[in-house]
Each structure stands twice: as C-alpha cells, then as structure tokens.
A and B are shown apart, each in its own frame.
Chain A
C-alpha cells in the first residue's frame, strides 16, 4: 500500500505579549490542540500513539518574542491557504498570530536543517555610551572567546564569526536597542551570550526575533516563506530599523501585544 498523500504547509507566526513566557514544548501542545479544534485534515504518525505531523523550527527561548516563527504541518488533503492564517489565529491563544502560509515542495529541507541565521531586536540594559562603545569593540574584535558550560565541562569558543551584523536602533528607558544578525549554523550564538560578549556588565532587556534566514547555494539569504513580490536580496533585508513607537509597543498588559 502506498503511503497516504501528504500536503505540507509552512506557516509563519508571531509570538508577542504575555504569551512569550511559554516554552517551546508548550507551543507544540497549543498548536496540536488548535489544529484539532479546527478539524484540519492533519496527517497522523503511525504507531501506538499517533501524533499529528507537525515540525517546529528553532526553539525560541522562554520570554523572547518573535515576529518570525515557523512550523511545517502535514495534511492528508489540501487546505485553503488563503483562509488558513486567519482560522489558525482565531484558534490560537491571544498573542500568537499566523501571518503567512505557503505550500512546501516535497523534499524541502526541514526548518531545523535549513535555518542559518536569525535577526534579533535586542534590548541591552546599560549606559548608552557604554553599549555603543561595546558594539564597536565587538565589531572590531578579531576574535571573541566565550566560555560555555556543557555537561559540567567548560569549553572556550571563538564566537566572533557567529556575529554577522550589529546595528544600533536607538535608546530605550533602561538601555539601548540593537539589531543583530546572529548565526545558528555550525557556529551558534544565543542573544543572551551575545549580550555577555558585549560586556558581562550589561543586562538583558526585551528580546524579539524578527527574521529567520536560509542560506542559499548562490550566497543569498532567503526567508522560509518568501513574500511573493519582494525577492530577498541580502541588502534589502539589512536596512530595517526600529521606530521608537515599535519599541514602546513591546510592553503591554493584555495577553496579546
């Protein structure tokens, strides 16, 4: 018997507001429940305890927000991509919003395999001049040794190659907002490590992932779901700056932002 047909859909969603305090595992359960609520024709795994076939991308650290989370869902019959984002958003809790959906060609590499770097808005808590100086020192440093503890062992890694870009977006109440492009490839640096590398004196404020990128064979970066009319040439993706209004919108009282 042939395996049942599969239609894989990739969706992009944002995670903002209070719900940023849930974990990656929590996200998985919430998405599964939402898909069942909508009775979408999701494909189930074989075996004794069938689970819906949903693959998640890179985990987002608890308390970080994101405008660019992705997941791939396998369906047994095609679904309407036009209405899928709205329907999913209605089924998901406040603060999670599905922004785009696209069919995936069979054989497309998984999110885990293909994402090479992410862009982040990172609020660094510290004196503005100190942060600015640290950014310039970091960009000029030939190497940046970072101590990491794994399973009780301390190793030192040069993380300089993992810091691809840093821009200063502007001041916040307690520090400075940076936009940084950080590698998630073979060499990885987390936003918290990035702040530590800038200076152990700085604190961690609000952090938000804005993009995830796939490195193409031709050297260009693309997003996991391409906007139909804006091919993702690297230079167009690097110029985004954050308006102060957007920065202040990052604090809220309701579940959603």
Chain B
C-alpha cells in the first residue's frame, strides 16, 4: 500500500484547518495496511468537523478493526481548497490514518445522513479515482457501498453504488466481510461477489434491480436477476446491550461538532411523529441497560478527558428512569475527581418534567434551552401527531425562565400537510406568548423561533404529501417575519426554502434523479449543505436538462396505489399502516405511543420477530406529552418487556 503523505504534507500549510487531514485522534486504530485483510474505508461525505463525530461510522470502524481478517480506515470529504490542490497534483482521496489512496481499499463505504451530501458522495468516488457509475467499474475495482438513514431511498444514488445497507449496520458489516473473505478465496468475479452480497439480509445491490416507467410515472422496481430478493428488508439490532460501541470514541485534535462524549441510550422511537423519518425507520425502541450506560459514561470520561457527555437517542427524556441515571452519572464523576461533568440531552421534553431534568443537569451555566413543539396550533400538532398542549409548552417555558434561563429556542416546521396561514401564524403567537412569560422574570428574556421547511420523507405517513413550493415556504416565512417584526424579545430564524426544495427532489426521487445529481456535481455543486456553496439554479437547471419536472417529483401529492421508488425496500412498516396513519392525520386523529399501549401492528416488531426493549412498564412521570393520553398515574400497560429488564449486560471489553 502506498501513502500520499509525502505529496500532501508540504501543501497542508497552505489550506484551511489542516488538522482535518492528519488523523492522530485518540481512539484511532492504527492497524497497518496489509493486503491479506479485507479493507474498508469508512467515509463521511462532508467536512471532517461534521463527519468525525458520526457515531454510526465510528461503530462500524471499531467492529471491523476488531476482526482478525479485516481492517478499516476513515476518510472525509476534503474541503474545496484542498480538493483543488489534489486535482492539480493528482492526489487521490486518502484515509486519514495511513494516507492510503481510497482505491487501494476493498470497500469504500459512505455513511449518508443528509440528502444534500449526495453530490459529495459522487465527488469522493471520483476523487478516489474510480468510475463514478458502478456499471463502468472494472474487475478488481473498489466496491462502493452506502448506508445511513438516507439510504432507505437510495435510488437517486443507486447508479453510483455497488451495494446499499438498510438499517442498523452492526451485523451486516460483519456478514459482508465474511462474504468478501469467502469470495476472495474463491477468486470470484465482481458480478459473483455482488450476487453473494445480495444474499446478505439488508444488503441491496441496485444493479440487480430495474425500475419500469410509463411516461413520468414509475410503475415499480423489480429484480432483474434470480439471485436478488423481491424485497430487501432492513436490519435491526435486537439488543443494544450486545453492542456497547463505540468503545473508544474518537477524540479529535481539532474542533468538531458535538465535541463531547456521546453515549447512545436507546435506538428507535415510537412517539409516532408523522413527519419524522428517523422515528419510523428505527423502530422498535431498544434501550441500553442503565448500568451499561453508566459504565460506558464512566469509562468514556476517564479515557477521553471530556467534561461533557451527551446521552443520545431520538427522545432521551423517555429513557426508563432517566432521572436516577443522570444523577448517578454526576455523582460518579464527582467521586472520580475528574472535575465538573456536564450531562446534556439532545432534546428536551416540552413540559415541566423536562425542565426539571435540565435544571438538575445544568446547575451552573443556564444560557439557553430548546424545545420542539414543531407546529403552531393544536390542530396542526394533531395532524403531525406531536400532541403537546399549549399549556405544556407555557408551563415548560415558565419553568425555564423562573429557574434562571434567559433564552428559549423553539423549533418549528412549516409547509406541513393541510397547513393554513392561521397555523403558520400560530407559531408567532406561541413565540410571543413565551416571550411575555419570560419577561415576567427578566427583561432580557428572548425567544427564538427556528423555522424549517418540511420535506416529506420515505417510510413515513407523510410520504404521499406534496411538498410546499419554495415560493410558498418563503411566503410563510415572510408572514412570520411580519407578524413578529415589532414583537419584543422574539426572533424568527429560518432555513433557506431553496435548499429545502433541493432536499425534496432528492428525498423522494427515483433513479432518474441520479442524472441530476451527476450534472449538479459536474457543474461544481458540492458541499450543498453549506450555504456559501449552495445554488438552487444548479438543481433547477439540471432537472430541466434531463426533462424532469419539479412539480412531478416534489410538489405533487401521491396516490394510494402509486408505486413509490422505495417499494422494493422495507423498513418493516406495513404500507397500509402508513397509509391509514396518513388518513388519520388528515382527519386530525392522533396515535398513541405503543411503548405503553397495545400494539397497533405497524410491522416493525411483528415482521422481524423482535420487540421493544424497555426497562420500565410505565411511561416517565408527567407522561401525557407526545401520547395525548393521561398516563401520569403510572399504571402498568400491556406491553411485553424486553429481555434486558433483568439488567444483565454484556461486559464492556477492557478499554485503556
């Protein structure tokens, strides 16, 4: 194996943030290049400071490096200044550990968690020196693979990818390695290897399937090979306790986002917010045993020297016994003499209970608190199934200001199904009322309403909904700006509606959209997540160039019998469950959280013979939020508790 370091090193003094390219993080694996091992290059298709903290890639990186027959390095999209130098001097995409060229790895594997990184995926494949289209790659070329939430509709990237992994990667990454070891021993061809990979559950090989069109309409996507299953099912880790990863979270040398210890406390969410793809595709809920959380935090803090830990999940306040767990962590840290530890939760519940936890966590610095009511009126919150009452929000905000916080941030979506201007303006009313509550405590009270345009996502009840046009979203933003212009203490922030449109093209696009991705990339459209790099015209022009209609792909409502581009893939959810939930939504009917109510058979558990793994039969205190039900009495509900309830956890391997 070769290294590009001698070429790279003299140029690093001339690029921004060169520490992005040197590796050397605490926790980095230095498993030396060895051609007898199956080698993976895990790549995050965005800048290092965004990609390094990605827990999914870190988990897979450790799992592969623990194997005797495989090794893994990491790579990130080089920033434009370095890319210019790399293209000028013929330096290929490289790993940060050994500066090995990407094309020398057996597998180039992307973690794709944002649609606007698609052009970066193509750019990285090209920088690796590989043909960007899978069909143009030759025998012996690196296999290009992708996983991550966006890959539940991989079709806009399908022609560039040799294989796609659906769902939790912990198990399939090992099974794919087994296949690659076996195929190499057999001297198998590329086609034979791909056919063998297609036998791994959760692995989708796009070249073995073909879409059928009738004019603009997609009629379906079906296998064109006997070896390809009709439908590819996602993978689900049944028990998080068996996967205490990352065991050695990477500690970067330079500043990154989420620069703290992260410990995943559960995976999956059953609150059933209808706009939320993450909540739908990661079902069921699988909690990590509390004692394992505590051990992972303790060992992590000791090993890394971080003074902050984030307990991550889609809704951490729902973790069984969250209060004793976080209090225990803070006591552990005091006992260990590591200095002050702060515990953060990625999201707060909108009620006084959530604020109560926050108050105990942030004894010192009380700068800002964030809540996500998501919609401005009760009607709209019923439609999205986020059943927060106004009283809940006001109570939470009152609790926050009365306990010393001065800034409150509220997250909202606009462009939701059946939204009227009254619903949109409800956002301004909520924010205004919250600021008034704040001013009864301090004149410095400010409320920021952060407003994002809604993008319908695959495998959600809203997958049939026609996205608002960019103009319509901008009009709604303007309504909100006008309504709050003279309101003391209220600020409106919003995402660029044109970026929302581009995200919408990609989120539900079919395989034809790949041409658009390639054209935008060829015209220089990379780092589309970054406002300084984003230009909507590139997308609109590329759609026109390929005779693809924005209206058809983005703004149009889909019908029940229409074939969707991801119909040959499965997140376990029954399509009729999603359709019924969509109809309930339009009828303004909520759906309770199934952790603490009887199963309504969405398919995520029953289809795979798995179930929720929760340690408590009762919802957390103050439990009305998100369920619309009064469960605060704490009566046991008829769910089967997972086998983790005994508290037996897999031992953590000794980590230094």
Contacts and interface: CB of A to CB of B under 8 A. Distances in A.
A49 interface: yes
B164 interface: no
B304 A37 contact: yes
B13 A49 contact: no
B364 A50 contact: yes
B23 A23 contact: no
Interface in A35-52: 35-37, 39, 42, 44, 48-50, 52
Secondary structure class of chain B's binding surface, majority of residues: loop
Given A33-B251, A42-B339, A255 B305 contact: no
A204 interface: yes
B305 A34 contact: yes
Nearest to B5: A253
A29 interface: yes
Nearest to A64: B13
B253 A19 contact: yes
Interface string A77-101: 0000000000000010111000000
A180 to B, nearest CB: 18
B302 interface: yes
Nearest to B9: A251
A21 B13 CA distance: 7
A62 B255 contact: no
Contacts of B3: 253
Given A19-B24, A22-B254, A26-B253, A48 B364 contact: yes
B330 interface: no
A73 to B, nearest CB: 13
B307 interface: yes
Contact of B24 (A29, A52, A62, A94): A94
Contacts of A94: 24
A18 interface: yes
Given A22-B254, A36-B338, A37-B302, A63 B364 contact: no
Interface in B1-58: 3, 5-6, 9, 12-13, 17-19, 21-26
Contacts of A18: 22-24
Contacts of B365: 48-49
Contact of B340 (A22, A50, A62, A63): A50
Contacts of A26: 19, 253-255
Interface residues of B, number: 35
B304 A33 contact: yes
A33 B305 contact: yes
Contacts of A227: none
A30 interface: yes
A217 to B, nearest CB: 38
Q: Determine the main DSSP class of A at the interface with B.
A: mixed
B306 A33 contact: yes
B219 interface: no
Contacts of B339: 36, 42, 44, 52
Nearest to A42: B339
A34 B365 CA distance: 23
A32 interface: yes
B253 A93 contact: yes
A23 B17 CA distance: 8
B18 A39 contact: no
B13 A39 contact: no
A23 B306 CA distance: 19
A169 B301 CA distance: 46
A251 B9 CA distance: 9
Interface string B284-325: 000000000000000000111111000000000000000000
Contacts of B254: 22-23, 26
B609 interface: no
A36 B305 contact: yes
Interface of A: 18-19, 21-23, 25-26, 29-30, 32-37, 39, 42, 44, 48-50, 52, 62-63, 91, 93-95, 204, 251, 253, 255
Given A42-B339, A44-B340, 10 more contacts: A21-B18, A30-B253, A33-B305, A34-B305, A36-B338, A39-B338, A62-B13, A63-B12, A93-B26, A253-B3
